[in-house]
Amino acid sequence: TTIVELLQRHIKLLGFTPLVHFELEGCCRFPQRAERPKINFSVINSRFKSLNIEGTLVPEYWQHQWEYVSDFSGQSPLKEAQNLEQAITLLPQWFAEQGVEETLIKPVIWSGDQGKLARGSKNIFSHESRAVHIPNAVQINISALDRNGKNIICDDGFGEYLQQCFLETSLACCLLYMPEDDAFERLALKSKYGLEDELCSP
């Protein structure tokens, strides 16, 4: 936290306000039984609000897949990181209260669901069933506002420069870049397992 605070202060002295926004996908496993319970998102989102966690939990494409989306509330990068850390810590406990057996925050959930889309459709499933491996992602959106509140990411190639800096430095920063086999396997799910129709995300 000290490093983030120092960086926030330094960027502010340069005349800019940094903003960070997280999106985190994960899945839940319920015990095997006939009826399939559903996650009560409104209960969890009320708890987020009561704890001043500026984020919202929403359902994702596959059943029992969810996404934590941080709110654009003007929170500092440090508060945003604290919000995400709290969400990751609390969600398994809150899901368990709703009957979830296991909370999974991984790049790939192997055999996470079953189904096959009907030919030519993007949202209607056929009667044919097969195991589907679910890819999950973490997305970080970064902005920098000038003194007038204008986002400078699009100005004079700054966004491209910033992206190059992240590429060059994140490998050495274990806090931001923790490679694992599943993260790379996620990229080949469509071609390797014939899931082009089912998996809409890149």
Better-predicted residue by pLDDT, 180 or 39: 39
Q: Which residues contact 144 (CB under 8 A, 6 or more apart)?
A: 11, 16, 17, 18, 19, 151, 152, 153, 158
pTM of the model: 0.77
The amino acid that residue 49 corresponds to is K
Distance, in Å, from the CA atom of 202 to the CA atom of 179, rounded to the nearest integer, reads: 18
Instruction: Over range 22-50, report the average pLDDT.
Output: 87
Q: What local confidence, expressed as pLDDT, does residue 172 receive?
A: 66
Q: Report yes or no: 136 and 106 within 8 Å, Cβ to Cβ.
A: yes
Give the pLDDT score at 88. 96
Backbone CA torsion sign across 78, 79, 80, 85? positive
At 100, which amino acid appears?
Answer: V
pLDDT of 144 > 60? The answer is: yes
pLDDT band at 83 (very low <50, low <70, confident <90, very high): very high
pLDDT tier at 55 (50, 70, 90 boundaries)?
very high
Position 202 scores a pLDDT of 46
Residue with tokens 């926004």: 21
Cβ neighbours for 168, distance < 8 A, ≥ 6 positions apart? none
Neighbours of 126 (CB within 10 A): 11
Q: What is the pLDDT of residue 49?
A: 97
The pLDDT of residue 45 is 98
Q: Extract the tokens encoding 95.
A: 């899901």
Q: At residue 118, does pLDDT exceed 80?
A: no
Lowest-pLDDT range of 51-60, 93-102, 138-147, 164-173 = 164-173
Q: What is the pLDDT of residue 134?
A: 77
Check whether 173 has a pLDDT greater than 90. no
**Nearest by Cα to 182 from 108, 132, 110:** 108
Residues 25/137, Cβ–Cβ less than 8 Å? yes
Q: Quick one: pLDDT at residue 121?
A: 61
Please report which residue ranges of the chain form alpha helices under DSSP H.
2-13, 41-50, 77-97, 158-169, 181-185, 189-193
**Pair of tokens at residue 84:** 């995400």
Residue 50: its pLDDT value, please? 98
Q: What is the dihedral of CA 55, 58, 63, 64, to 10 degrees?
A: 30
